[in-house]
Amino acid sequence: MQEFLEEAKKSSRTIANLSTAVKNRVLNEMADALMNHCDFIISNNEKDMSQAIMYNLDEALKDRLLLTPSRVEDMANAIRQIASQSEPVGRILDGWVTTTGLNIQKVAIPIGVIGIIYESRPNVTSDTAALCFKSGNVCVLKGGKEAEHSNKAIALVLKEVLSKNKLPEQAISLLPDSSREGVAKLIKEDKYVDLIVPRGGESLIRFVSENSSIPVIKHDKGICHIYVDKDAAPAKIIDIAINAKCQRPSACNAMETLLVHENIAPYILTGLEDAFVERGTILKGCSETLKYINAIPVTLEDYDTEYLANILNIRIVKNIDEAITHIQRHGSGHSEAILSENYTTVNKFLAEVDAACVYANASTRFTDGGAFGLGAEVGISTNKLHSRGPMGINDLTTFKYKIYGQGQVRTK
């Protein structure tokens, strides 16, 4: 493990100092290589899908695991969009001249070696590798066992492009020991690894956060809400609610609980019920909700559950304050939305709800690096420090101070 990470650390010096032109050329070649090797990638993904069926993995996990030609094309397009982003390294974040004549610049630099631990989605391999490369970082990737063949195939394609350009292949590496013990070793190697980014299930996040001696940026679960205010526009409610829950229920930015103001509940719940039932959604409701629609009684535990499936909680609340209290108690700090045409109410929600992304009159499904125009993201950070929300290339930099003097010495 140490020898492997030492090579990764060595390669970080080369990657950190690549020019923008070289990085962009290599990234576009990586995108082309994914398309040229699409059949190879999908054939390896089929091995993972076969095992997923054999071990009876749930439908949400299989959906995240599946690669198709269009999904491989999406991966390639994400890399091209990352290449098109402005250069993140070398940005002057701030600058000033002190009273002693020192010219101080605060300059963005790569973080170094980033360990990324993730589950299920093979596209994370190409997305995070490209994001790290663009931001001058080396990545050590640890995907889930369920995607082992897919991840190896994608990494091999990307590493071949590095080799072709006479760049160190260690810049994009899969952790050689993918066991839990291997992860436990990785997160203790603070001599070689500068940052750990875990994204996945609650148990993985907790294990890494509690045991890592390396700084961690968590990409935790998404328990997302939409609050339908009494002043919501009826024409928008059903479309946004259906999109947030049903467009891709297995995504972390999918809605898990719909909060409805008591004044509007009698007029919209039956229409919402029809729309959700048509799409096969299992509805769970509070005692007030059950007066208007057929649903399974909801429990307190349900409000704290990330379903990652086509299941929705519905709760009627008295006002916006009760909605915000519910969100703060049960939300995960990911994405929250309000539907309202009342400017004051909207601003109160956006100001008081503590989450990485807060929306007014839009679906929570937009919390995504691609949808934000970032090309892709390492994940959706629920941390409050360094990075929050979709973590793109600028979030994969830190900074240093460059100080220019003309012979000054300190006298006091």
Q: List, for residues 105-155, the tens digit of each pLDDT value.
A: 999 999 999 999 988 789 999 999 999 999 999 999 999 899 999 999 999
Do residues 52 and 104 lie in contact, with contact meaning Cβ atoms separated by under 8 Å?
Answer: no
The percentage of residues in the chain with a pLDDT greater than 90, rounded to a whole number, is 83
The percentage of residues in the chain with a pLDDT greater than 70, rounded to a whole number, is 100
pLDDT of res. 387: 85
pLDDT per residue as tens digits for the range 1-36 = 889 999 999 999 999 999 999 999 999 999 999 999
pLDDT of res. 410: 93
The arithmetic mean of pLDDT across residues 220-243, rounded, is 95
Place 386 in a pLDDT band, splitting at 50, 70 and 90. confident
Sheet of strand 255-261, all strands in order from the earlier edge strand to the far edge: 296-297, 282-285, 311-317, 255-261, 224-228, 335-339, 357-360
Mean pLDDT score of the chain, rounded to an integer? 94
SS (H, E, C) the chain: CHHHHHHHHHHHHHHHCCCHHHHHHHHHHHHHHHHHCHHHHHHHHHHHHHHHHHCCCCHHHHHHHCCCHHHHHHHHHHHHHHHHCCCCCCCEEEEEECCCCCEEEEEEEECCEEEEEECCCCHHHHHHHHHHHHCCCEEEEECCHHHHHHHHHHHHHHHHHHHHCCCCHHHEEECCCCCHHHHHHHCCCCCCCCEEEEECCHHHHHHHHHHCCCCECCECCCCEEEEECCCCCHHHHHHHHHHHHHCCCCCCCCEEEEEEECCCHHHHHHHHHHHHHHCCCEEEECCCHHHCCCCEECCHHHHCCCCCCCEEEEEEECCHHHHHHHHHHHCCCCEEEEECCCHHHHHHHHHHCCCCEEEECCCHHHCCCCCCCCCCCCCEECCCCCCCEECCHHHHEEEEEEEECCCCCCCC
Sheet of strand 92-97, all strands in order from the earlier edge strand to the far edge: 92-97, 103-110, 397-404
Tokens at 90, concatenated: 């070398």
pLDDT score of 383 more than 90 = no
The arithmetic mean of pLDDT across residues 201-219, rounded, is 88
Apex CA 41: angle with CA 36 and CA 44, to 5°?
155
Query: For the purposes of burial, counting CB atoms within 10 Å of the CB of 202, is it exposed (0-12), middle (13-18) or buried (19 or more)?
Result: exposed
Place 191 in a pLDDT band, splitting at 50, 70 and 90. very high
pLDDT score of 102 more than 80 = yes
The arithmetic mean of pLDDT across residues 311-323, rounded, is 98
pLDDT score of 378 more than 90 = no
pLDDT of res. 155: 97
pLDDT score of 290 more than 90 = yes
pLDDT per residue as tens digits for the range 54-66 = 988 888 788 889 9
pLDDT of res. 147: 93
The arithmetic mean of pLDDT across residues 321-339, rounded, is 97
Place 380 in a pLDDT band, splitting at 50, 70 and 90. confident
pLDDT of res. 64: 86
pLDDT of res. 119: 82
The rounded Cα 28 to chain-centroid distance in angstroms is: 22
